[in-house]
């Protein structure tokens, strides 16, 4: 079964990362902070799936 939550998080992360690379945004911008938050959410989700 497809994990739509994981796919949505990964999609948002990819689009934000592309935007940050194009604009050359620094680490303290809201977009980069959201990427860090998405990474944490992906790890949490993987941990829940594993248990």
Summarised one tens digit per residue, pLDDT across range 28-39 is 999 999 999 999
Beta carbons of 42 and 10 less than 8 angstroms apart? yes
State the pLDDT at residue 39.
97
Q: What is the pLDDT of residues 38-49, one digit of tens each?
A: 999 999 999 998
- Domain positions in the chain are 14-50
pLDDT surpasses 80 at 1: no
User: What is the rounded average pLDDT for all residues in the chain?
Assistant: 93
pTM above 0.85, yes or no: yes
Taking the CB of residue 24, how many other CB atoms lie within 10 A of it?
A: 6
Give the separation between CA 28 and CA 5, rounded to whole angstroms. 26
């Amino acid at each position: 079964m497809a994990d739509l939550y994981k796919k949505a998080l990964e999609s948002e992360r990819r689009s934000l990362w592309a935007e940050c690379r194009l604009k050359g945004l620094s680490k303290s911008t809201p977009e980069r902070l959201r990427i860090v938050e998405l990474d944490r959410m992906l790890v949490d989700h993987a941990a829940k799936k594993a248990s």
